[in-house]
Structure 1
Amino acid sequence: MDLGDPDEALLARVGEGDPAAVRALVARKLPRVLALAGRMLGDPAEAEDVAQETFVRAWKQARDWRPGVAKFDTWLHRVALNLCYDRLRRRREVATETPPELVDEGPAPDRGLQARDVGLRVASAMRGLPDRQREAVSLCHYQELSNIEAAALMGVSVDALESLLARGRRALRAALSDMVEN
């Protein structure tokens, strides 16, 4: 049973210029948008920029939002993904002679080195996936969307999404094989 869009009333208040509604919308959606952008881009600063632009677009669209075509959450994820892909395309277009130096921010001693290393390895393996596989894995495993929701968001069939997920999982398993204990 479809109960409609759970964000519809809040979005209407945002469209009316209600500052409390804007804060509530950002508080409700920002963590997932940031997480998605962070996983797609692998750069927290770029992820914040994408999240900011995503919410600017949501704020501009709020007054004209027409429920029924898609859920607001689906639209918001699509905007964030499109902005991520724009940034990924720009990265490929910029040729550099030497790779940038990565700053080792190192974990705090109380956080545990192994957990940090695992997280970095997984993030690196995710960045190594082709864009569509990374998108599928991010939407289903990190954003916790159902296969049906993720397929609709990506504009593919559920079978195509499951194929992307299977290939992505295989690639991640291969990239992280030395970490898996038998």
Structure 2
Amino acid sequence: MPFDAMEDLPDDALLARFADGDGMAARLLTLRLTPRVMAHAYRLLGNRTEAEDVAQEALLRLWRQAPDWRPGEAKVSTWLYRVVANLCIDRRRRARGGNLPLDAIPEPEDEQASAAERMQDRARADALQSALDQLPERQRQAVVLRHIDGLANPEIAEIMDVTVEAVESLTSRGKRALSALLAGRQEELGYVDER
């Protein structure tokens, strides 16, 4: 099957094709899932290098799981988000007490933005990440999945293995905590009302 024709296949079908030895299906699935997995891991860890390691490990686990995958039982993306979250939680637990210095986190390059815009974007991202880091694990995970990764509450509930009501409670408390942590920083971060 040509690459273009495979682009419309759902994740489950691509994973099944990979399990049958189709390398092109693995390539397409990797291209499709890696950006989401990387972004999710980065938001949970706040470190690009660690997020790359987690993304790679999560995808390796998916490839190992492929021959035993049971379509319809869970969505590939849901399973992968859960694996990423668990790997991130494990890494954060191991790292407690030994945080990396901020200088060790490489700044993402953006050719389109000016230096001032990049600095402001970085300040905003750092402020958000710093605030996220202060949330309890479950609140941080729920807020990231809902408001940054854009997942629906039922899918988040499945990933976190909690009820939809628990997700709503966790995201609500997490948003309130973030608001309190970021209160008074609007001007500093360039969020000024233009009246």
Fold shared by both chains (TM-score > 0.5): yes
State the structure with bigger RCO (CA 8 A, min sep 6), 1 or 2. 1
**Mean alpha-carbon deviation: is it higher for 27-36 or for 14-23?**
14-23
Q: Secondary structure at the match of 2:168?
A: helix
Q: Who is 2:11 aligned against? A: 7
Distance 1:88 1:112, change over 3 A: closer
Distance in 1, matches of 2:119 and 2:48, equals 20
Distance in 1, matches of 2:93 and 2:40, equals 17
Unmatched segments (≥5 aa) in structure 2:
1-8, 187-191
The residue correspondences of 1:17-166 to structure 2 (distance < 5 A) are 17-92=21-96, 95-96=97-98, 100-103=100-103, 109=115, 111-166=117-172
Q: Secondary structure at the match of 1:179?
A: coil
One-letter identity of the residue aligned with 2:180: A
Unmatched segments (≥5 aa) in structure 1:
none
**Mean alpha-carbon deviation: is it higher for 112-121 or for 149-158?**
112-121
Aligned CA RMSD, in angstroms, stands at: 2.1
One-letter identity of the residue aligned with 1:79: V
TM-score, scaled relative to structure 1: 0.87
Distance 1:173 1:24, change over 3 A: same
Distance in 1, matches of 2:83 and 2:23, equals 22
- Number of positions where the alignment pairs a residue of Structure 1 with one of Structure 2: 174
Q: Who is 1:174 aligned against? A: 180
